[in-house]
């Protein structure tokens, strides 16, 4: 991981990157509005490289997402947006016959992709669908969830139909706060039928593979705000990642991150994409990031110096804890280490 043990010069996270792949909710915007510094930082990132977007949000079409980004000041066309419904169609194509009827639980973003893939859309289990595909939309309610449960009553191993979820994000950032995501809706159906869905989006790899192939990326960098979907998925796909602290996951989550979900870079906001990433030194139980120093002292974590930037303290704390190979619950952690001065919706 790039977070530890750098000895050479310290390039910026964007150095050597040919394609930037950015998550949307919590990275570019929260609700309808852009997050501070996101638009100008991403437009600057276009210099010498491609800029594209990966989103688990199945509520909107790629064209509507592109239009929204363009309105925010990020010129975007539909092809620049890779969605979890597009990844879901790849999975469906492997499991059911062309032209089959598919029960859709979700909104226009999912319906459009199902139709583009050549399948017939239904909203009723009574029309003998060949599969169920489920994605987030604000209008999804009991009626749609019940139809999915009716269609999925027979386990697949006993002859039942496939069930594909675009994603299982538990939450979604909104302008008013954090709201339930598609994972909560998928869980409702799971609770009713006792089955697990096959997942197309992050943290599974199909959506990353689609993006890398579409943009012919050799050295991509993925930007996300969630460890359990964005960063885990990028790691599984072998893609360098940057966690930006403007969305769902906070400093306390970073400190507790399991090895599989640790990012290459930790950023306070997207301006830091363009700054040299500081060296991280860990020696004799002390992690140093510029002026921030954090020590491991048995079961205690001690802040020796906070440094000048809050994000450096998070980086030093993470480096100190991660270097031990021990889980965070084995330590006494000072509250100051997971203080949260970073912008969030």
List residues with catalytic annotation: 23, 25
CA distance 178 to 26: 10
Grouping H, G, I as helix, E, B as strand and the rest as coil, residue 261 is helix
Nearest to 121 by CA among 101, 138, 145: 101
**Whose structure tokens read 């943009």?**
215
Start-to-end CA span in the chain (Å): 29
How far is residue 242's CA from residue 224's CA, in Å, rounded to a whole number? 6
Question: CB burial class (10 A; 0-12, 13-18, 19+) of residue 64?
Answer: middle
Within 13 Å and on the Cβ side, how many CA atoms surround 200?
32
- Strands laid side by side in the 19-22 sheet: 81-83, 50-55, 19-22, 220-224, 240-244, 265-267
Cα distance between residue 24 and residue 26, in whole Å:
6
């Amino acid at each position: 991981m790039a977070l530890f043990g750098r000895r050479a010069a310290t390039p910026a996270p964007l150095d050597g990157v040919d394609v930037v792949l950015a998550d949307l909710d919590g990275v570019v915007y929260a609700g309808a509005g852009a997050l501070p510094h996101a638009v100008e930082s991403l437009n600057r990132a276009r210099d010498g490289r491609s800029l594209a977007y990966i989103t688990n949000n199945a509520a909107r079409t790629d064209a509507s997402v592109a239009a929204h980004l363009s309105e925010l000041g990020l010129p975007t066309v539909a092809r620049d947006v890779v969605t979890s419904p597009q990844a879901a169609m790849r999975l469906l194509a492997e499991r059911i016959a062309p032209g089959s009827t598919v029960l859709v639980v979700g909104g226009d973003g999912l319906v459009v992709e199902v139709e583009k893939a050549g399948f017939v859309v239904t909203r009723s289990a009574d029309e003998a669908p060949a599969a169920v595909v489920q994605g987030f939309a604000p209008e999804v309610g009991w009626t749609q969830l019940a139809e999915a449960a009716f269609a999925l009553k027979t386990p697949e191993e006993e002859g039942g139909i496939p069930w594909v979820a675009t994603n299982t994000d538990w939450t979604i950032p909104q302008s008013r706060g954090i709201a339930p995501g598609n994972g909560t809706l998928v869980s409702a159906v799971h609770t009713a039928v006792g089955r697990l869905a096959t997942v197309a989006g992050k943290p599974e790899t199909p959506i990353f593979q689609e993006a890398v192939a579409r943009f012919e990326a050799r050295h991509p960098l993925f930007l996300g705000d969630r460890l359990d979907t964005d960063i885990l998925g990028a790691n599984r796909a072998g893609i360098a990642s940057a966690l930006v602290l403007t969305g769902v996951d906070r400093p306390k989550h970073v400190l507790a991150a399991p090895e599989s979900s640790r990012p290459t870079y930790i950023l306070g906001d997207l301006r830091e994409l363009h700054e040299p990433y500081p060296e991280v030194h860990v020696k004799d139980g002390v992690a140093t990031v510029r002026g921030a120093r954090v020590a491991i002292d048995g079961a205690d974590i001690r802040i020796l110096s906070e440094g000048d930037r809050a994000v450096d303290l998070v980086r030093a704390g993470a480096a100190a804890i991660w270097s031990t190979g021990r889980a965070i619950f084995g330590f006494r952690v000072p509250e100051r280490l997971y203080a949260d001065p970073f912008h969030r919706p």
